[in-house]
Amino acid sequence: MSYFRKYFSRFNSDASFKITDKKLVSSFTDDPEFPFLVSFPRTGSHWLRLLMELYFEKPALVRAFYYKDAMDFTCYHHHDENLELSGRKNVIYLYRNPVDTVYSQMCYYNQKIDDEARIQEWSNLYGRHLKKWLVDEKSLVKKTILTYEGLNSDLHNEFSKLLAHFGETLDQERLDDVARQVSKSSLKKKTMHDKQVVNTSEAYSEQRGEFRLKYATLIFSRIYDVTTKLEEFLAEE
């Protein structure tokens, strides 16, 4: 077995590789100051990790999309779905409008998007995640907060926050070139192991718009039931 195959295993058809060697991974994650990228599922982490990998020319743990022979990494990505992650000192937190996040979750799991019980359940789960990382987490020495909407509307400004976290300044030309390579169509190709990661269909977008109109009030209400302190972080559209 080659050294490369020892440390990496191929995904199905998207040509990405998962770093499987526990010793290699722990050599980074055992350091509490090693950066963690934390994001609730369906909030844009695939896109951000591809942007980061091309810009920094090294991947995030534990999946490499482009630099598959890397032995150095930008960060470790963790969803923290069970809210059990602790002891970190260095975190980048990515979040997204909760209405779009709930809609995306329900579509991903093939749930009926008019099921109000499920809508409230997802809203509560995401509300607790937001509360932990935006409001409650006090042990961090270094924390940078990013939003999917910020990346989408003003990539230069939002990505500059990420670069500042790593002690770097923005190279606009470089980022623009990277962004052209990481379009929705290219992201779709890079996530072929999971065809539901990126949905670019017109019907999906139209249905999301209807979902926003019908359930935004309910979702934000459940989010703020977790804590009203989240109001300062969330924009109700």
Residue 34 lies in a domain: yes
| Alpha-carbon span 1 to 12, nearest angstrom | 20
Q: How many domains are contained in the chain? A: 1
3-state class (DSSP) for residue 146? strand
CATH assignment at residue 221: 3.40.50.300
CA distance 101 to 184: 17
Residue ranges making up the domain that contains 225? 3-232
Rounded distance between C-alpha atoms, residue 31 and residue 179, angstroms: 31
Residue 237 falls within a domain, yes or no? no
- Which sign does the torsion angle of CA 62, 65, 71, 76 carry? negative
94: in domain: yes
Q: How many whole angstroms separate alpha carbon 70 and alpha carbon 29?
A: 16
DSSP H or E segment with residue 142: strand 142-147
Mean pLDDT score across all residues of the chain: 89
pLDDT at 2: 42
d(CA 59, CA 197): 19
In a domain, 218, yes or no: yes
CA-to-CA distance for 68 and 58, rounded, in angstroms? 9
Omega prior to 198 cis, within 30 of 0: no
Instruction: Answer whether residue 33 is part of any domain.
Output: yes
What is the pLDDT at residue 203? 85
Query: Is residue 8 in a domain?
Result: yes
Q: Residue 19 domain-assigned?
A: yes
pLDDT at 139: 81
Q: What is the mean pLDDT of each run of 10 residues along the chain (237 residues)?
A: 47 70 95 97 95 97 91 97 95 98 96 97 98 92 96 97 98 97 68 54 88 97 97 83
* Confidence at residue 82, expressed as pLDDT on a 0 to 100 scale: 95
The pLDDT, as a whole number, for residue 12 is 42
Q: What is the pLDDT of residues 173-225, one digit of tens each?
A: 999 999 999 976 666 565 554 545 556 577 888 999 999 999 999 999 999 99
Predicted pLDDT of residue 198:
58
Tokens at 115, concatenated: 């099921």
For 70-80, b/e burial (b = at least 16 CB within 10 A) is beebbbbbbeb
Look at residues 134, 170, 149, 165 and name the one whose alpha carbon lies nearest to residue 55: 170
- Residue 158, domain member (yes or no): yes
Amino acid type, 107: C
d(C-alpha 185, C-alpha 190), whole Å: 9
Alpha carbon distance 32, 85 (integer Å): 11
Per-residue model confidence (pLDDT) at position 126:
98
Say if pTM beats, i.e. exceeds, 0.85.
yes
Evaluate whether 234 touches 223 at the Cβ level (below 8 Å): yes
